[in-house]
Amino acid sequence: MPRKETSYIVVHCAATKPDQDIGAREIDAWHRKNGWIGCGYHYVIRRDGTIERGRAEHAVGAHAEQVNQISVGVCLVGGLDASGKPAPDFAQPQWSSLRRLLADLCTRYPKASVVGHRDIPGVAKACPSFDVKAWCSDGLILP
């Protein structure tokens, strides 16, 4: 189903440990196992910085229940430390790719707010294990 509006760009983490190098294919399999039609994120950023397509960008996502109908979902692989606790353990190429992808998405969806999954009201998760709004306001993405 096509998305009619884009009010949010939601940044997630895969909640994987540093030694797990997965991508959109593995997340697609996890989500299908949950009964979904496929990867709920529109984009997945691997540890090496490769940006992979998950769900078609124009489609409604399955990544943040409260805003799926009005958002694009971006997932960084990682987000947990070796002991399984939330940590922004993302590799430098991931940060660079996230910066480029968000800049591109913000150009195409200028009215959309960039938020972390944890910033959505009603979400009780640490995802994506860092403060997206602060990261963006440091001049990396937004003016």
> In Å, how far are 2, 20, 35, 51, 90 from 76, measured between CA atoms?
24, 12, 22, 9, 8
Q: Which helix (H) or strand (E) holds 70?
A: none
Q: Which of 13, 109, 117, 136 is catalytic?
A: 117
Question: What length is written for the chain?
Answer: 143
Verify whether residue 8 is a known catalytic residue.
no
Verify whether residue 42 is a known catalytic residue.
no
Q: Which of 13, 106, 127, 136 is catalytic?
A: 127
Verify whether residue 41 is a known catalytic residue.
yes
Q: Which of 41, 63, 109, 136 is catalytic?
A: 41
Q: Which of 12, 31, 42, 63 is catalytic?
A: 12
Active site residues: 12, 41, 117, 125, 127
